[in-house]
Amino acid sequence: MTKLKSTYFNFKMNSISRRSLFLLILVFIINLDSLQAQERNCNYVVPTQASTWVFGEYARIKFAQPTNEILPTSGNYGLPFGSSSISDENGNLILFSNGENVWNKSYNLMQNGSGLAGSKYGGQSSLIVPHPGNSNKYFVFTTNKYISNFYTEGINYSVADFSSSNMGEITSKNNQILTKNSKVICAVRHSNNTDYWVIVHGFGDENGGTFYSFHVDTLGVNPTPVSSTVGIIQKDDINNQFGYLKASPNGTKLAITLPSVGIIELFDFNNETGSVSNPISTGSGSYYFPFGLEFSPDNTKLYATTSPLNPDTSYLYQFNLLGTDPLQNPVAINKFAYNGLTSDSLMYGLQMGVDGKVYVSKTMQAGVGMTNLDVIYNPNRDGLSCNFNELNSATNNGISLNGAMTQSGLPDFVSTFLNIPHFYYLDQCLNDTTNFIIRNTANLTPSWNFKDPAGTSDLSNPLNPKYIFSEAGTYDVELTESYEGETYTFSEDVVINPLPSVDIGLGSNIIYILQGSSIRLDAGDGMDVYSWTPAGSNNQYLDVDQEGYYIATVTDFNCCSNSDTVEIKYASLSYPNAFKPTSNISDNKTFKVLGDISAISKYQFRIFNRWGQLIFETDNPQNGWDGTQDGEYAPMGTYIYTSVFTSFESGIQSAINITNTGTVTLIR
């Protein structure tokens, strides 16, 4: 995150013209823009906020590499439908909620964490959003059903504050932002990549045709939403409140289910303005009780479950969003037939994991949970090639919850927390060994094209190859995955940054200084980090008054580093005691200072004859006396000279003067 230095102006309005004020403000804006431009662009960091899931009965998953940790909780927290959780930068749990209570990372009820206005029953109970302006605070949004004159709690948010304790406490509770609502909620990052949009939907004659987008910024939750009246009006049957509202990982699409009327809708979402538009609908009654929703990681597919309340078949569908009519002709990825038995299975909630797979919750018809989650291993692939419960050409039962049970829902997250590239790379500077990491390694044999024939590759582990690019630039790297005779190609722009320029010796390996003086070394401006050896300074400049080797290491805002070394030596300066203008040796033809004259910033040199008459002077140490006076040869003999060497200034010392006086013999 860019840290802006505060700039203060102190003036009286009556002492400054409007034009001057305008220019002053303009300078401030330009300065602010230049500071904002210095944003660090280092290694890609995989978002970890959605790493730990707590759901169902005792169920807990921590997504990690190389193996996910599936370890039941010690208590049953009452999470029958959707829950919500959020994790820290290491993927460790911070807090979770079922809409009625909030628990901390120790799985204990958070202080003041009971009595939230949501309901744990129904599709989506809650959603946790970080406070953009305070890393110690989180907004816990809760949903409750709406029945006029009976249930009017609506959509609320409470504040979980960790400022005083790493276990947190609820410091502000049940701030209502909407009533007459459906029990659905989702959130995405704002286009500025700092703020968030929390999106909900109304219910009933008054609000039922409207989406409400609440802006969460550094000041908190703006209670005045952006309203978009678009799509099917949700009203009448209360079961239409209990579907799902999901956003695509890139934050540009929304999808919603209306279970009772059998409708799935798709919309465009503007993550800059918060507006919802361009509805596409399956039409009424197209699907029997559509419920769970999830997008594919690449935003090109939409998955939906149908979970009938009466004898029928529970389906898992895939919709191809790249088609001309994206919500028509889906592919049935899986189905569970209902045979009138309480042991028959129904598919409900869907949720993408940080590993790029989509997980499916299910229960038995009698509402009893099941001990495994179904898995769509390759959700970016078309149709049955998405490999529902198929890994390495063998069918399975998804993943076991190791004794815990899933029920109707899975945790909800800010959707853009899961906007992770299909593959990403680490170490992005010239001469680095760049590491490539595939997000989802299920069901593939990889091959790579780095588009740089002059580079050096290490493909000993093709799932995690290494490559040294030959020069800085942008490379369109391609990954091709092969599985059961099919190939799938993904590409990413890989930016290899040049190393920063640093030249403390100004083109020289040695810098001479006058003994007793000092010099300021400059590592160049515009860097993020400076480091000097052996002095240990972290500033752009280093003032040096001792001989030795000095190394400056700089790191730019791409986290690329470079260094330069210079040797500081005391200058050896002297004058000869005689010279001969007619000599065949050029150095003997003039009388001038000899040695390391680069140590001199200013120079004064004078020659006097024996009667004290000034016969020559110069301020250029490269110039010398050629033995003439007024254009005529000066007579042989002894002459007197004086000189003054002025050193360079530094941050610790002013310039010093060194005065020299002596005699020289002119020989003919």
Is residue 501, in this structure, part of any structural domain at all? no
**Using an 8 Å Cβ cutoff, are 656 and 648 in contact?**
no
Which pLDDT does position 320 carry in this prediction? 98
* pLDDT(3) > 60: no
Q: Do 71 and 140 fall within a single domain?
A: yes
Among 45, 46, 51, which Cα is nearest to 411's? 51
Q: For 486-533, what is each residue's pLDDT tens digit?
A: 999 999 999 999 999 999 999 999 999 999 999 999 999 999 999 999
Q: Do 270 and 313 fall within a single domain?
A: yes
* pLDDT(441) > 50: yes
| Helix ranges (DSSP H) in 111-235 | 204-207
Q: Using 50, 70 and 90 to split pLDDT, how confident is the model at 10?
A: very low
Q: Do 76 and 222 fall within a single domain?
A: yes
How many other CB atoms sit within 10 Å of the CB of residue 364? 15
Rounded to whole angstroms, the Cα distance separating 98 from 123 reads 11
Rounded to whole angstroms, the Cα distance separating 288 from 59 reads 29
Q: Do 308 and 358 fall within a single domain?
A: yes
Burial classification of residue 363, based on how many CB atoms lie within 10 Å of its CB (0-12 exposed, 13-18 middle, 19 or more buried) = buried
Q: For 350-403, what is each residue's pLDDT tens digit?
A: 999 999 999 999 988 767 889 999 999 999 999 999 999 999 999 999 999 999
How many other CB atoms sit within 10 Å of the CB of residue 463? 13
Q: Which two tokens stand for residue 369?
A: 């949970």
Looking up residue 382, the CATH number of its domain turns out to be 2.120.10.30
Q: Do 333 and 453 fall within a single domain?
A: no
Q: Do 588 and 515 fall within a single domain?
A: no
The domain of 621 spans 573-666
Q: Do 221 and 369 fall within a single domain?
A: yes
- Tell which of 418, 448, 472 closes a domain: 418
In this structure, which amino acid lies at residue 66? Answer: P
Q: Do 79 and 182 fall within a single domain?
A: yes
Which pLDDT does position 115 carry in this prediction? 98
Q: Do 134 and 208 fall within a single domain?
A: yes
Q: For 125-153, what is each residue's pLDDT tens digit?
A: 999 999 999 999 999 999 999 998 888 99
Phi, psi of 25 (to 5 degrees): -65, -40
Q: Do 334 and 429 fall within a single domain?
A: no
Q: Do 353 and 472 fall within a single domain?
A: no
User: Helix or strand or coil: residue 240?
Assistant: helix
* pLDDT(311) > 70: no
Which pLDDT does position 16 carry in this prediction? 36
User: Helix or strand or coil: residue 386?
Assistant: helix
Rounded to whole angstroms, the Cα distance separating 97 from 431 reads 47
Tell me the whole-structure pTM to 2 decimals: 0.85
Which pLDDT does position 183 carry in this prediction? 96
Is residue 26, in this structure, part of any structural domain at all? yes
* pLDDT(432) > 70: yes
Which pLDDT does position 342 carry in this prediction? 65
Is residue 45, in this structure, part of any structural domain at all? no
Mean pLDDT of 79-91: 95
What are the C-alpha distances in Å from 69 to residues 51, 235, 615? Answer: 10, 42, 91
Range from 334-348, 550-564, 577-591, 596-610 carrying the lowest mean pLDDT: 334-348
Which pLDDT does position 336 carry in this prediction? 86
Is residue 454, in this structure, part of any structural domain at all? yes
Q: Which two tokens stand for residue 245?
A: 């509202």
Mean pLDDT of 328-347: 83
Among 84, 160, 161, which Cα is nearest to 118's? 84
Rounded to whole angstroms, the Cα distance separating 80 from 367 reads 9
* pLDDT(307) > 90: no
Which pLDDT does position 377 carry in this prediction? 98
Mean pLDDT of 33-46: 69
* pLDDT(340) > 80: no
Looking up residue 657, the CATH number of its domain turns out to be 2.60.40
Mean pLDDT of 588-592: 95
Q: Using 50, 70 and 90 to split pLDDT, how confident is the model at 29?
A: very low
* pLDDT(165) > 80: yes
Among 114, 82, 108, which Cα is nearest to 95's? 108
Is residue 612, in this structure, part of any structural domain at all? yes
- Tell which of 387, 418, 449 closes a domain: 418
* pLDDT(451) > 50: yes
- Tell which of 401, 418, 435 closes a domain: 418
Q: Using 50, 70 and 90 to split pLDDT, how confident is the model at 23?
A: very low
Q: What percent of the chain has pLDDT over 70?
A: 93
**What DSSP assignment string belongs to 313-362?**
EEEEEEEETTSSSTTSS-EEEEEEE--S-TT-EEEEEEEE-TTS-EEEEE
Which pLDDT does position 309 carry in this prediction? 61
What are the C-alpha distances in Å from 190 to residues 22, 164, 246? Answer: 31, 29, 16
Mean pLDDT of 211-224: 99
Range from 27-41, 328-342, 413-427, 487-501 carrying the lowest mean pLDDT: 27-41
Q: Do 259 and 374 fall within a single domain?
A: yes
**Using an 8 Å Cβ cutoff, are 310 and 323 in contact?**
no
Range from 22-26, 74-78, 197-201, 305-309 carrying the lowest mean pLDDT: 22-26
Q: Residues 638, 640, 641, CA angle at the centre, nearest 5°?
A: 135
Which pLDDT does position 283 carry in this prediction? 86
Rounded to whole angstroms, the Cα distance separating 593 from 643 reads 9
Mean pLDDT of 60-68: 93
Distance from first CA to last CA of the chain, Å, rounded?
74
The number of distinct structural domains making up the chain is: 5
Select the more confidently predicted residue: 39 or 330.
Answer: 330
Across the chain, mean pLDDT equals 92
What are the C-alpha distances in Å from 319 to residues 123, 398, 441, 598? Answer: 21, 21, 23, 74
